[in-house]
Amino acid sequence: MKGLMQDWPLLVHTVIDHAAQYHGDREIVTRSVEGPIRRTTYKAVHSRARKIANALQSLGLGKGDVIATMAWNTDRHLEAWYGIMGLGAVCHTLNPRLFAEQLVYIANHAEDKVIFVDLTFVPIIEGIADQLSHLKHVIIMCDEAAMPDTKLKNALCYETLVNAHSDDFKWAKVDENDACGLCYTSGTTGNPKGVLYSHRSNVLHALAANNADALGMRSIDNVLPVVPMFHANAWAIAFAAPAVGASLIMPGAKMDGESIYELLDTEKVSVTAAVPTVWLMLLQHLQSSGKKLPHLNRVVIGGSAAPRFMVEAFEKDFGVQVFHAWGMTELSPLGTLGSLKAGMENLPIDKQIDIKIKQGRPVYTVEMKITDDDGKELARDGKAFGHLMVRGPAISREYVKGEGGDILDADGWFDTGDVATIDPDGYMTITDRAKDVIKSGGEWISSIELENVAVGHPEVQEAAVIGIAHPKWDERPLLIVIPAQGKSPTREDILSYMEGKIAKWWMPDDVVFVDEIPHTATGKIQKLALRQTFKDYELPTANLEKGAAE
């Protein structure tokens, strides 16, 4: 027996309809790429999004076409998102931080027909346009006055194009399961893989994100998403904020401490979200300038683990609540968020921070568990660590064009590739990437935990840990260290520093000193490259074992 409720599909353009109707005057404030602050409203964004849909239609584009953006967080980027998605097309966010060859691969794989591009990134597109086999138009997101002298064929001026069209456009009739957004994961191995969001997944993700224990945005909030719209769906904010009528403060191209501080202050931002690097710059700016954060209520930190001192600085020095979040492109991206549970608000602040530095707990609509190599679920005791598996309506079931093959197990769980613990309260802590974990005698050692301990040594600038083949234990950890400027710590200095801070059997079997550790375009340590470099490395303990066996 079916229910008798309305067939009201979950479509992202209903979000901007709602914002325009009930929060039409709420502002979107942008630090424009050209420089000055620009102010618009949801009503205007709604109108201009429909003009963009008309403009794209006039260029011969429509339902199912893939239209890319390479742009900062701005009002125009927001308009473009809703215009593209409201046309029934797919908005593909290109990450300008990727290498040119990756961008070419991705844009061709996605079959991007149009690219909306910010002034900043015109040179990138100029460099690769000839290799983009599906590209028909490049729309430069500025007005005529700011149009660059470009060698791009088919370059159009955004403002001229938008203003040449009427806002009389009826959003496309689409199914809620139709695709509307596309974002490639940069993956450390293999080709980048496309995550294809549906209208339904984005709407459900925004509804879940808006619950009061998650992002919990309200119409009275002024929200500054530093997290870029070209990265992992902007953590839901471009959908979740208009759904409740929160004002959006868009940082454009400037994410240094002073620029972010200026917006937090002048626009009375109450909620903001970014990766730790951004908050490090902000805290340094606050420290050197002696400024405070009287308006800011909540800061969401994700992308990588927030160091404890950062959480402490926000909570203790500035009275700002910190929420650690964890997610990934394949999760739309929010998986967990670290709001406190009943009773925890009465804990001493340091105990609260013990919880707040964990990656958080899943909100309803995300299912989560940890398993061993055989797929057996492990205890939620905060100690056992295993493969982090997730299910939910805003989680990938496969990549574009089947890249990477089957990615769900028989019960529909997606393997995040992370290794984590879950504590009895449901708070999850990432302990490693599955492929980086060191398997020693059937037990797992977290490379990340070893790195975190090692970098605590005052003479260590950066540390990386990889597993090296071992005749007895399968793998044992090798610690790779860049010494701090002008320092020359010894192997023994570092290992004795680590003693007592980790289990004895976790102690690295050797330490090597290097000048450089390779990183990906998005700043992660390239462990694959390190494993390649050290593939023939022989651990002293391996020799001992061999010696003993001989």
Find the binding residues for its own copies in span 40-69 (CB under 8 A). 64
CB of residue 54 to its own copies, shortest distance in Å = 21
Residue with tokens 């403002």: 159
Of 29, 50, 31, nearest to 39 by C-alpha is 29
Interface with its own copies, residue 10, by CB under 8 A: yes
**Is the sign of the CA dihedral 40, 43, 48, 53 positive or negative?**
positive
Interaction with its own copies in 410-449: which residues (CB under 8 A)?
A: 412, 414, 425-426
What one-character DSSP code corresponds to residue 411?
Answer: T
Interface with its own copies includes 195 (CB under 8 A)? yes
Kindly state the smallest distance separating residue 460's Cβ from its own copies, in Å. 38
Phi, psi at 416, each rounded to 5°: -70, -15
Residue 245 lies near its own copies (rule: CB under 8 A): yes
Options 210, 329, 416, 447; binder of its own copies; rule CB under 8 A: 210
C-beta of 242 vs 477, nearer to its own copies: 242
* Choice between 189 and 346, CB closer to its own copies: 346
For its own copies, give the closer residue by CB, 178 or 418.
Answer: 178
Give me the active site residues, please: 185, 330, 439, 444
Contacts of 542-547 with CB under 8 Å at 24 or more apart are: 542/468, 542/469, 542/470, 542/471, 542/476, 542/509, 545/470, 545/471, 545/472, 546/471
**Per CB under 8 A, 208 contacts its own copies:** yes
Determine if 249 is a binding residue for its own copies (CB under 8 A).
no
Verify binding: residue 213, its own copies, rule CB under 8 A. Answer: yes
Give the count of alpha carbons within 13 A of 79, CB side only: 30
**Cβ closer to its own copies: 239 or 444?**
239
Q: Minimum CB separation from its own copies for residue 364, in Å?
A: 4
- CB-CB contact of 396 with 413 (8 Å): no
Residue of the chain from 51, 361, 387, 457 that contacts its own copies (CB under 8 A): 361
Give the distance from CA 282 to its chain's centroid: 19
- The least CB distance from residue 300 to its own copies, in Å, is 14
Question: How many residues sit in the footprint of its own copies (CB under 8 A)?
Answer: 74
Q: Cα separation of 456 and 498, whole Å?
A: 9
Torsion of CA 160, 161, 165, 171, to 10 degrees: -140
Instruction: Report the site for its own copies in 133-172 (rule: CB under 8 A).
Output: none
Binding mask 320-339 for its own copies (x = CB under 8 A): ------------x------x
Which of 183, 232, 243, 463 lies at the binding interface for its own copies (CB under 8 A)?
243
Taking the C-alpha atoms of residue 366 and residue 357, their distance in angstroms, rounded to an integer, is 20
40, 69, 259, 365: residue in contact with its own copies (rule CB under 8 A) = 365
526 binds its own copies (CB under 8 A): no
Give me the amino acid identity at 452.
N
198 near its own copies (CB under 8 A): yes
Part of the chain binding its own copies (CB under 8 A), chosen from 3-11, 40-48, 225-233, 503-511: 3-11
Rule CB under 8 A: choose which of 114, 122, 142, 244 binds its own copies: 244
| Alpha-carbon span 422 to 70, nearest angstrom | 37
Of 72, 139, 135, 63, nearest in space to 106 by CA: 135
For the record, the structure tokens of 523 come out as 């700043």
